[in-house]
Homo-oligomer: A and B are copies of this chain.
């Protein structure tokens, strides 16, 4: 099943409609890797159709988040970022505090950690929505004091 099919199915089931705008936004998200800002999404959508309004982008992102096809974080710089989850495997994000580069990592590396947290205090970490701040190898190398 493709992402589009999953989206359409969810729309139908809940009485929503499939519009060209929603298709375009989904397609743009699908083509973008990693965490992207609303502006990045918006300007890509505009290339497909310049009449699409940014409020429609916001509304569609809300919808996609409800459907769990997209999730969002604000790394703390006031620039909320969205990511398309689609049907692919979930993964962690490592966001470099210096250069902003985002690396994807398999959930598996965090499994033991999650287990430990659950054992010690009963908290179930949502690993599939996790972004970790820190230093990427390159920046860690040049920043060693």
Residues of A in contact with B (beta carbons under 8 Å apart): 72-74, 76, 78, 80, 94, 96-97, 103, 105, 109-110, 112-113, 116-117, 120-126, 129-130, 132-137, 140
B112 and A97 contact, CB distance less than 8 A: no
18 contacting pairs across A/B (C-beta < 8 A): A72-B76, A74-B74, A74-B80, A105-B123, A109-B116, A109-B120, A112-B112, A112-B113, A113-B113, A121-B137, A122-B136, A124-B134, A124-B140, A125-B133, A126-B132, A126-B133, A126-B134, A130-B133
The residue of chain B having its C-beta at the shortest distance from the C-beta of A143 within the complex is B124
A123 and B110 contact, CB distance less than 8 A: no
Nearest CB of chain B from residue A26's CB, rounded to whole Å: 21
What secondary structure prevails in chain A residues at the interface with B? mixed
B94 and A117 contact, CB distance less than 8 A: yes
The CA-CA distance from A110 to B132 in the complex, in Å, is 12
**Which residues does chain B contribute within 8 Å of A110, judged by CB atoms?**
113
B124 and A135 contact, CB distance less than 8 A: yes
